[in-house]
A and B are shown apart, each in its own frame.
Chain A
């Protein structure tokens, strides 16, 4: 970094490097397998539903407009500002304008891609269920992209010291134009949306420099905003790999205390006490379980193919157990626990006891859903029995084996 102008490029490069580092873990994760299953199921359902549409539906336009409107909320201005900037870069606030304009341009890329993808997915439905012409639909996409450009300009302006009322007015104006424009375009007047949006966009671009020069950058708020944005992303990554600086949160969850007690059992076993409370209160563990339960439930009701269902139930049970394994080593760095007068065998037993209860609940939830979805027949009973067998194998054979390996790994 030689010149001030290189600041943005240097940061952008570092940022992309970091993202690629974490994304590698995301795409390697078991959850991705589950998500791919989910997407497959959804795509299949979508194509089936499309076949049923033979004539335009009165609500199709409204649905399309709503989806497009929601998709506009995706993607925010990424400024990559750091906490130290409010000290080191304070005297260079003028130069920061160019930096921020670059940041805005960069922030535009991903949302535009997402919007194009959303419109792509909607296209078969929109053209089948409404009387829209292809040209009108194409113009809608163009209008939508311009709207996103306007939105990011406004988000940039919001970092500056305009009064709260001015900011609210700008936001209201934007959403007003977005709602009216998108409604117009789904009823065949997409050229009006393009005209409206383009007019506002050109106006903003022409005025931006003047507007920004007249105002102070509100550093504190801008940095706080960027921090929140990055925290959301990092929290997501933290589901897959430890992100430094993000400690998964601990929630008291007093209302779940009776359940925690059931999980911990009545005997005074220190490790069962610890494992059960950690599982219930640490979002990183309870979320794994919850995630698989919810995605599992959705899939069970979405997929009617019994064989696929069986695979899903087995896979999800196994993956839950597999992903909860780190709980076993959660306390490895705690010196106080290392000197507990307990043996490894009791620790392993305690872990398996807790896991048995946790996974059994998931098994019950999944299979009740299967019985409701498929009804009681040969297939559903087979799923219940096979998944029970897997559960027993998992708890009796697989887990003890893995824990022994892990124990060896330490020494």
Chain B
């Protein structure tokens, strides 16, 4: 599905990622974790093709990005960390725009969208301007936009911050659905306890490098912490970095 090979990259002259390699398989949910500034969002930007790798490769469904950019992009849906919306478009128009951009069949897409809107209790807000919504509701708009596509790979940046507990629960269900349908999900998060519910594996980034990867049990063993106390990993890692 998604293969990141020896990726080194960052912004123009600022190298952030150093030789990062990992894979996300079909029907798998992978959590990308790490402290602030570890390179999680930068990794995502590279996968989306918003940043150009300095070296290394990103392969999606056996296809490199530049061979067919449009096709590559159609296979990815993205929920950004901070909702970015059009001030002058209504919720309905945001959805329509996504359908146009992904060239979705509007009837099928609307069926999906309506179901998602109902789940997130947004179905009455179609004619409102999402720019005036609360942060959590904006986040839901971004989630609906991403989840109604047919994309094979869903990338979700910090999905749980700002969402109410019910929405967190719903989102986890939706992720499980995508997983069951054979789609791949890559999400970054700090909230390990929540992510643990759905994530099959974690990739731990530290200073732009993959520090460790594996299942919860594997990680817990590597760092010598209890499985139900995975957050301890961060403390362990901070100690290694000499920060704490």
Contact = CB atoms under 8 A, between A and B. Distances in A.
Given A87-B80, A88-B101, A92-B101, A14 B51 contact: no
Interface string B63-84: 0011001100110101010001
B162 interface: no
Contacts of A94: 69-70
A89 B48 CA distance: 12
B73 A88 contact: no
A86 interface: yes
B101 A89 contact: yes
B102 interface: yes
A92 B96 CA distance: 13
A93 B51 contact: no
Interface in A75-89: 82-84, 86-89
B102 A91 contact: yes
Sorted nearest first, the 9 A-B pairs with minimum C-beta distance are A92-B101, A94-B70, A91-B73, A84-B84, A4-B100, A91-B74, A91-B101, A84-B86, A91-B102
A220 B50 contact: yes
Contact of B52 (A14, A87, A92, A216): A216
Given A1-B93, A161-B52, A220-B51, A90 B101 contact: yes
A245 to B, nearest CB: 9
Nearest to B97: A88
A3 interface: yes
Nearest to B146: A87
A216 B73 CA distance: 11
B49 interface: yes
19 contacts: A3-B100, A4-B100, A4-B101, A83-B84, A87-B78, A87-B80, A88-B98, A89-B97, A89-B101, A90-B50, A91-B101, A91-B102, A92-B70, A92-B100, A92-B103, A94-B70, A216-B49, A216-B66, A220-B51
Given A1-B93, A91-B74, A93-B70, A82 B86 contact: yes
B85 interface: yes
A14 B73 contact: no
Interface in A134-161: 161
A219 interface: yes
A293 B28 CA distance: 68
A347 to B, nearest CB: 35
Interface string B36-67: 00000000000011111000000000000110
Interface in A373-410: none
Contacts of B201: none
B20 to A, nearest CB: 20
A88 B66 contact: no
Interface in B135-178: 142, 145
